[in-house]
Amino acid sequence: MATFSFNHIGLSVQDVDKSVEFYKKVLQLKEIKNTASESKTRWLSLNEGKQLHLIPRPNFEIKVNKAVHFALSTANIDPIIATLNTLEIVFTDWLDTPNKVYIRKDGIKQIYFQDPNGYWIEINDDV
Q: What is the pLDDT tens value at each position of the chain, 127 positions in all?
A: 888 889 999 999 999 999 999 999 999 999 999 999 999 999 999 999 999 999 999 999 988 999 999 999 999 999 999 999 999 999 999 999 999 999 999 999 999 999 999 999 999 999 8
Fold exhibited by the domain 8-56: 2,3-Dihydroxybiphenyl 1,2-Dioxygenase; domain 1 (3.10.180)
The phi and psi torsions of 20 (rounded to 5 degrees) equal -60, -45
69-124: CATH number: 3.10.180.10
Q: Where are the domains of the chain?
A: 8-56, 69-124
**Do the Cβ atoms of 122 and 71 come closer than 8 Å?**
yes
CA gyration radius for the chain?
Answer: 15
Fold equal for 8-56 and 69-124: yes
